[in-house]
């Protein structure tokens, strides 16, 4: 068992979904049970009961009653990063609101509501689980006594290039170093994203747009190496779909939501085999 937090109050977030552009709202409230739960007219479901889809530039959860919620990763990252493992999320609309494209708005509201004293059993990996893809992406987890990440990305634009973020993830580290990092997009990708019916709620208020020729000095990064820190944020949020803290060192290179969620599936399968 390890120490974690519940909640002693509610926080409501309103805005538009970054992909749908539709008005969205989520109420984060205390839960009577340990775990992260989503409430719908058809019932209340633990996050790990959902089928997770990472193919639409974000993570969509499909619950047993057919309810769907898009772009859950930033809010789940805020909860997991702050070590809040008991909460009830009630969503109105098709998507979690984008807010400013990071997890900072969520963490600032949730930190004062944290209630210590929750005991949860983390998921500890017993052996290495690792795989890659045809595009040079790689992700894996190895046993560790704590939750650690090593995340790296490599892009051609000079404003990004190769970036690395690694370290143990605690509430303070997440809030200071990871939560402020915004969703980013290459300017050259925007047309294709819109053609897929995505990014309809994206704007300069919630997305860091990086031009192919932009020099690094021209960008106003909130935190050093902001793009890779946002990738770390996404990774933490996707791993939260396990429903419990993870004890392990996760290494991810050029990995996205699909690979994150496949790692979650493989971790679950490894638990069933022991």
In sequence order, what are the residues at sequence separation of 6 or more whose Cβ sits closer than 8 angstroms to the Cβ of residue 124? Answer: 143, 247, 248
Task: Give which of 6, 25, 3 is closest to 113, Cα–Cα.
Answer: 6
Q: What is the pLDDT of residues 194-204, one digit of tens each?
A: 999 989 999 98
In sequence order, what are the residues at sequence separation of 6 or more whose Cβ sits closer than 8 angstroms to the Cβ of residue 64? Answer: 42, 43, 45, 49, 50
Q: What is the pLDDT of residues 239-261, one digit of tens each?
A: 999 999 999 999 999 999 999 99
Other CB atoms within 10 Å distance of the CB of residue 45: 17
Helical axes 226-239 vs 73-81, angle rounded to 10°:
80
Q: What is the pLDDT of residues 14-49, one digit of tens each?
A: 999 999 999 999 999 999 999 999 999 989 999 999
Q: Choose the catalytic residue: 74, 230, 253, 257.
A: 257
Question: Is 257 an annotated catalytic residue?
Answer: yes
The Cα 147–Cα 267 span in angstroms is 14
Q: What is the pLDDT of residues 65-92, one digit of tens each?
A: 999 999 999 999 999 999 999 999 999 9
Q: What is the pLDDT of residues 51-67, one digit of tens each?
A: 999 988 899 999 999 99
The Cα 238–Cα 57 span in angstroms is 12
What domains, with CATH codes, occur in the chain?
A: 2-121 (3.30.230.20)
């Amino acid at each position: 068992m390890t120490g974690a937090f519940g909640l002693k109050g509610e926080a409501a977030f309103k805005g538009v979904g970054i992909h749908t552009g539709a008005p969205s709202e989520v109420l984060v409230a205390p839960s009577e049970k340990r775990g992260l739960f989503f409430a719908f007219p058809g019932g209340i479901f633990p996050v790990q009961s959902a089928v997770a889809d990472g193919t639409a530039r974000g993570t969509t959860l499909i619950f047993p009653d057919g309810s769907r919620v898009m772009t859950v990763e930033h809010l789940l990252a805020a909860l997991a990063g702050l070590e809040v493992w008991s909460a009830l999320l009630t969503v109105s609309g098709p998507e979690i609101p984008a807010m400013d494209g990071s997890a900072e708005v969520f963490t600032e509201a949730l930190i004062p509501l944290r209630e210590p004293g929750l005991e949860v059993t983390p998921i500890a990996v017993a052996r290495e689980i690792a795989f890659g893809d045809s595009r040079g992406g790689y992700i894996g987890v190895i046993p560790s006594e704590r939750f650690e990440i090593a995340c790296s990305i490599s892009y051609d634009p000079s404003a990004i290039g190769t970036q690395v973020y690694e370290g143990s993830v605690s509430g303070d580290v997440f809030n200071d170093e990871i939560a402020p990092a915004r969703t980013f997009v290459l300017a050259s990708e925007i047309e294709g994203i819109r053609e897929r019916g995505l990014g309809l709620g994206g704007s300069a208020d919630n997305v860091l747009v990086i031009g192919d020729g932009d020099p690094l000095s021209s960008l106003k990064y909130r935190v050093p190496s902001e793009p890779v820190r946002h990738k770390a944020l996404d990774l933490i949020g996707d791993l939260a779909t396990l429903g419990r803290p993870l004890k392990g060192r996760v290494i991810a290179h050029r990995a996205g939501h699909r690979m994150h969620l496949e790692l979650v599936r493989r971790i679950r399968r490894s638990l069933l085999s022991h």
